Amino acid sequence: MNAARLPSGGLYAIANGPCEGIVDRAIEAMHGGACMLQYRDLHSDSTHRLDIARALVAATQPFNVPVIIDHDLDLMRASGAAGVHLGSMDDDPVAVRASLGPDAIIGVSCYGDLERARAMAAKDVDYLSFGAFHPSPSKPHARQVSPELLREAASLGPAVVAIGGITPDNGAALLAAGADFLASISGVFGSTDPRAAARRFHTLFDATRAVSS
């Protein structure tokens, strides 16, 4: 587990390509307080994805924000990104860790499956992602899960990410249930003002930390 490079918690902004102005939007999101950034693009060609991934990695350096690449280990290596996010159809995290080394951030989707989360937690991953918790325009057919899942996942060891239709208005309950990160795609990158959208999430985290301290 790479606790040194993984932030302690906050807004996990997901840049879903192809998207016009994706790098500029990412910069605005980081100005607003996003602490981790994922790049996912299932449609563009490999050259375009590499160009965007490298641009995102360069853009995040002044903010000390790690870039996570969705699924693609080769793209992660070539772009210099900090880590990779794995789904149920991707390679086993043990093999990925052996390939990438101890410094890479590895996250996995657990959907609403606590048994999968327990199995993944034993495989040296850095975070477990759960969702969807609310209807999501990015994944409209995703099955919704209960926030109670986060309470059980919080004891497994890796950081806990909540995703799926999350906004600053509904995120507080997920943080209270045990989420370390709130992931947002359309809530940030679909906003006309990504900086303001990210800042609203950042304010929510600040308020939650103030209450718990």
DSSP β-bridge partners for residue 41: 17
**Tokens of residue 106, six digits:** 């590895």
**Is 69 in contact with 49 (CB distance < 8 Å)?**
no
Quote the CA–CA distance of 152 and 148 in Å, as a whole number.
Answer: 7
Q: Is 74 annotated as a binding residue?
A: no
68 belongs to an annotated ligand binding site: no
The answer on whether 123 is annotated among ligand-binding residues is no
* Start-to-end Cα distance in the chain: 26
On whether 88 is known to bind a ligand per the annotation, the reply is no
Q: What are phi and psi of 53, to 5 degrees?
A: -60, -45
To the question of whether residue 138 is assigned a binding role by annotation, the answer is yes
The answer to whether the bond into 154 is cis (omega within 30° of 0) is: no
Tell me: is residue 113 an annotated ligand-binding position: no
Contact 130, 161 (CB under 8 A): yes
Residue ranges of the alpha helices (H) in 62-137?
73-79, 93-100, 114-121
Dihedral-angle region of residue 80 (phi above 0 means left; psi in -120 to 50 means alpha; beta otherwise): left
Residue 193 marked ligand-binding = no
Check the annotation: does 109 bind a ligand. yes
Binding-site residues for Mg(2+): 90
List residues forming the annotated binding site: 70, 90, 109, 136-139, 165, 185-186
